[in-house]
Amino acid sequence: MSNEVRNLEPKALWNHFAELNAVPRPSKKEERVIEFMMNFGRSLGLETKMDAIQNVIIKKPATAGMENRETLILQSHLDMVHQKNADTVFDFDAQGIEMIVEGDWVRANGTTLGADNGIGVSAIMAILASTDIAHPALEAMFTIDEETGMTGAKELDGSNFDGKILLNLDTEDDDELSIGCAGGIDTNTSYTCKTAAIAEGSVLKEIRMRGLLGGHSGMDIDKGRGNANKLMTRILYHLVSVLDLQLISFDGGSLRNAIPREASAVVAFDKEALKHFEAEIAKISQEIRVEFSTVESALTITLHDASSEGMALEATEFHRILNTLYSVQNGVYRMSPDIEGLVEASSSLARVIISNGEFTTQSLQRSSVESSKGDVANTIRAAFENMGCTVVQSGDYPGWQPNRNSRILNLMADLYREMYNEEPKIKACHAGLECGILGKHLPGVDMISFGPNIRAAHSPDEKVQISSVQKFWTYFLETVQRTPEAQ
């Protein structure tokens, strides 16, 4: 299945991608991919080292005639988001990603693909391994744990680098040059609930929501996609308004930085109310499907028999939690007044768990402006503290302030016009690129981010466009070869 990828052009890049995707590399469990990358650098006879936080650094001298050019830092992250469809049987800790070629796209078989940021890593590997590509001195920086806290970037030892220009290969549209990004902060909450026995004579049903698009909670937050946690809350809120209902469990979402695609809830009610319950579920489900029909055509809401030996939430606790989940901010909080079309601040309710009397949530707030990042984070904190939750905010990282006078931006914008006879889109993005953090460790380094077309990152629908990878590779090589002279 994955061997078909090896025959794609440019073969050097795709072969490295196939080798990389054979190595499990979830965030915070990067030991195997770190070893893989260290062995790769050493096998080429290149200076290869690991810093204290376990970022991998590989250095390659300039080719003949390029010694007077600026040293280039090439940067991508080693970890990937591990997510699969509920009905996909796959062990991320033991299996390599199963890749499928479909027309002009490469996707995975029911899991995330790892094109984010594996294509960037593979492009850097290809140029490090090359024997016929002219380039200045290269400093390859492979960071860890980008997807769950940017730990590698935060703890980077900047003394390992001499370069004054950094190319970050972690953008997902091949006509864009990114010169700014959002910072972020995680808000995690916990609460111990009062419980009650499940009423005698109750029937138990599991409400299952599947088929939402999900996606990246930064890049896709303004696309009007459904959030499974919020939609399941909406269903429950409607049901308790029309019949007596007990909540036994709620399990929604999976990853802190992905829009939740799936959720389930187990409820109990008097068996005499079954027809009423089914009618109300059908009513609210149809309402939601119609409302989201343009965006979420694959959405399904189904009922299944359930059983439980546990406890239900006490009624007042159930209402308190529902009110909080319903009212908490989700989605775009503010659009930028300075950059047209840019989401300035947002929040995504990524994870909700209610089980055995424990209620926990995870959400991620983002903003390109530090003050509004604090504002939206406080909005979330206040909502949960108001119901008595313990709130912990952590993982705070800064945004990346755009510099329209950047030397590498001017070079790459001119090159794009020359190669493609059109204007590149010079943008800031609503995602947490590492550049904002790296800038603190590498003061004065000129940075830019670009990459091929990747769609639905952080979800099992993730795919990368083959023709776009070819365009990206050609543009990347030309940029490297036109690196300006050292100042």
Active site residues: 79, 146
Structure tokens at 67: 């010694």
Q: What does DSSP say about strands 165-168 and 446-449: parallel, antiparallel, or unpaired?
A: parallel
Give dist(CA 463, CA 478) in Å, integer. 25
Give dist(CA 28, CA 36) in Å, integer. 16
Residue ranges of the alpha helices (H) in 387-465? 407-420, 435-441
Structure tokens at 380: 């979330």
Residues 6+ apart with CB under 8 A from 131: none
DSSP 273-325: GHHHHHHHHHHHHHHHHHHTTTT-TT-EEEEEE---SS-EEPHHHHHHHHHHH
Residues 6+ apart with CB under 8 A from 291: none
Distance of alpha carbon 43 from the chain centroid: 32
Coil, helix or strand at residue 7: helix
Residue 84 has, within 13 A of its CA and on its CB side, a CA count of 15
Residue 97 and residue 163 in contact, taking contact as beta carbons nearer than 8 Å: no
* Long-range contacts of the stretch 416-425 (C-beta < 8 A, 24+): 416/177, 416/475, 419/474, 419/475, 419/478, 420/175, 422/175, 424/175, 424/176, 424/177, 425/173, 425/175, 425/176, 425/177
Helices 315-327 and 228-242: angle between axes, nearest 10 degrees: 140
Give dist(CA 169, CA 150) in Å, integer. 15
Establish whether the linkage from the previous residue to 117 is cis, with ω within 30° of 0: yes
